Every structure is written in C-alpha cells, then in structure tokens.
Amino acid sequence: MKRILICGGAGYIGSHMAQWLAEHGHAVTVLDNFSTGHRGAVRWGDLIEADLLDPAALDRAFHGRSFDAVMHFCARSLVGESVAEPYAYYSNNVTGTLNLLEAMRRHNVRNLVFSSTAAVFGNPIADVINEAHPKAPINPYGASKLMAERFLADAAQAYGLRSVALRYFNAAGALPGHGIGEAHACETHLIPNVLRAALGQGPSLKIFGNDYDTADGTCVRDYVHVQDLARAHALALEFMDRNEGAHTFNLGNGQGFSVHDVIATAASVAGVAIPYEVAPRRAGDPARLVASSAKAREQLGWQPRWTELAPIIESAWHWHRDQPSWSPHHRQTDRPTQAA
C-alpha cells in the first residue's frame, strides 16, 4: 500500500486516478481548490481544500501527514484561454508547480507523477510522435507544461527528486458505473461535445475545417481512455521505485481517428443522427496528432486496454446520458458545442 496525495483529484483525470488507487488498496488524499474540479467527484480518500498558489496552505497540507508520492493534475488547460490570458497560465501552471515542488522538498516527499501534455511538441513534424520529437510549444499552455518538465529535470539533479511526466494526447471516456466522467463548465473537447449534441444540448456541432490532408479532410487525433491513463500513473509509481531521475513518456493509442470517425461512431452508439456544420479552420490545429507509446510499453509495461473507438465513446455516452447533479452540464442546454 502506498500513501498518495492527488493534487487536482476533484477533476476529470484526477478523480479517475483516485478511484483506481483506492480500488487497488492504496491510501488516497485529494487536494483541490475547486476552481474547476467538483466536490461530487471526490468519492475516495480524504480531502484537503487548498491552492498551489498558497505556500502556507501547502505546508499545512503536508504537515503531520506522510506521503510516499504526489500526483500532480492541477493545471489550467484551455489552449485558447492560455493565449488570451498567458499570465494566469504561467502563474497557475508554473508558479503553482514550483510551490508544490518546494513543499515536497521541505516535507521530504521525493516522488512525483506529473500530468503533462502533447502540447509541449507544438506543430508536429512526424505522423507519429515519440519522446524525441522537438519540443516547440505554440501556446502558453504547452509552454507552461514544458517549463514544469524542466523543473523536474533540474530537481532530479539538484535534490534527488524522482519524477515521471506523462504526456497525454487526447484523454477520453468515463467510468459511469462509478459516477465520474468528463465534466467541464467550458467544454472544448470533441467527444463530450459530440455527445452533448446527440443529447440535444446546445446548437449543432461545428467541424473546424474539412480540407486537411487526411483521409476524409478532417483532423485526426489519438484518443486514450482515462482508465488507461490511471493505470499508466500507477505503473509510474512502480517505475520510480526502481529508477532515479526525471523521466518522460508519451501516452496514446498509437492510432488516429478523424473528426468524422468520432461523429459517426457516436451516432452509432447513441442511435441518433448528430447534426454538424463545417466552419473555417482554427489557427494552430495540426492535421494529425498521434502518439508513439513504445517507450511506455517497454519501460513502464503499459499497454492500453481500450484500443477501439466505439467502447471509449460508449463509456462516455453512458456518463453524459446519466449525468449526476454535480455535473456542470446537468440539464443545461444553452452552451454552444464545438469540435476540434
């Protein structure tokens, strides 16, 4: 049994992580400021309400408690918002991470799993992206995550911190049987927006560009189920028991699905036609983003179990169809939907 502090454990991926750890016999403590997380998603372990931008609150969170590792999911993560509000992103994602690392050092916690992103790569120069791909983020969100990765590398050398940064491509899916799923007040992700359109929540879906150099002209993305991500984080804990230093891994299915693929699959799962309209391309949207997870397979022993698009979407569909009252989309029909 390990004692794990999950920073951002009231959010989408963090709550799935808490469920996985608790189910596998670990002691879970969730730390969240509820700026985007949901109290209703905190169902496993203890809760500490605190903000990473408050060093005194972090010291109180660590004082008198013993943790074997920290998992860090706290971040602002909307690309467009990061362009409009870069200071907020550098404050939250960079300063907040530094505050957490300093608190861990003061309280002698030496293992961290960090939630990173494919946005550190910027515009891809390869169809399949491995860890050696150049890092050239094109927005403050990606830049803030890359800076945090640099912190981890420097902390490994200076202080002996052991860390694993996991770069997700497109997290998707849900655990509807456990009452948790993707519930953002401002939803920008494709699959939840497609499913909201299927439920008649908001206007018809928008496809941003259908003239890309792909098989059907729409963008291609790599979708990895949130439960597979949780399992990768658990394997990262075991990896740090055996390996010093700072390490990075890309996480994805290794196969791409187009926007049209997602809409057609969702329509089949939901049993309804899903209307959409074509809009101009958005700046900064690459035609194709697909991960190579070979390193994670070889070194972590991670293999995604949700490899087909239909089961991933079906798990999300059951969640969205039966949303709990704490979800920001519960019975709401006035928010626009978008597709990337």
Please, are residues 318 and 174 in contact by the beta-carbon 8 Å criterion?
A: yes
Query: 310 or 205: whose pLDDT is higher?
Result: 310
pLDDT band at 79 (very low <50, low <70, confident <90, very high): confident
Q: Which CATH architecture has domain 175-222+254-292+306-321?
A: Alpha-Beta Complex (3.90)
* 3-171+223-251, CATH topology level: Rossmann fold (3.40.50)
Whether the CB-CB separation of 221 and 11 falls below 8 Å is answered with no
Q: What is the C-alpha separation between 49 and 232, in angstroms, rounded?
A: 26
Average the pLDDT over 77-83 and give the result. Answer: 82
Can you give the pTM of this predicted structure?
A: 0.90
> Which pLDDT does position 147 carry in this prediction?
97
Mean pLDDT of 80-99: 92
Does 141 qualify as catalytic in the annotation?
A: yes
- How many CB atoms sit inside 10 A of residue 283's CB? 9
In this prediction, residue 334 has a pLDDT band, given cuts at 50, 70 and 90, of very low
Residue 278 confidence (pLDDT) above 90: yes
Query: What are the extents of the domains in the chain?
Result: 3-171+223-251, 175-222+254-292+306-321
- Tell me the pLDDT band of 131, cut-offs 50, 70 and 90: very high
Given this model, what pLDDT does residue 199 score?
87
Q: Which amino acid is at 302?
A: W
Which one from 141, 168, 212, 223 is the annotated catalytic residue?
141
Q: What would the mean pLDDT of 108-113 be, rounded to a whole number?
A: 98
Give a three-class secondary structure readout of the chain.
CCEEEEECCCCHHHHHHHHHHHHCCCEEEEEECCCCCCHHHCCCCEEEECCCCCHHHHHHHHCCCCCCEEEECCCCCCHHHHHHCHHHHHHHHHHHHHHHHHHHHHCCCCEEEEEEEHHHCCCCCCCEECCCCCCCCCCHHHHHHHHHHHHHHHHHHHHCCEEEEEEECEEECCEHHHCECCCCCCCCCHHHHHHHHHCCCCCCEEEECCCCCCCCCCCEECEEEHHHHHHHHHHHHHHHHHCCCEEEEEECCCCCEEHHHHHHHHHHHHCCCCCEEEECCCCCCCCEEEECCHHHHHHHCCCCCCCCHHHHHHHHHHHHHCCCCCCCCCCCCCCCCCEC
User: Of 200, 215, 234, which is closest to residue 332 (Cα–Cα)?
Assistant: 200
The pLDDT confidence band at residue 188, using thresholds 50, 70 and 90, is low
pLDDT for 185: 53
Strands 69-72 and 3-7: parallel
Percent of the chain whose pLDDT exceeds 90: 70
* Confidence band, pLDDT 50/70/90 cuts, at residue 335: very low
Sign of the torsion angle spanned by Cα atoms 258, 122, 91, 227 = positive
Residue 189 has a pLDDT of 73
Alpha carbon separation from 130 to 70, 289, 296 (Å, rounded):
25, 11, 10
The pLDDT value given to residue 319? 85
Average pLDDT score over residue span 234-262: 95
Identical topology for domains 3-171+223-251 and 175-222+254-292+306-321: no
More confident residue, 116 or 328: 116
Contact 263, 194 (CB under 8 A): yes
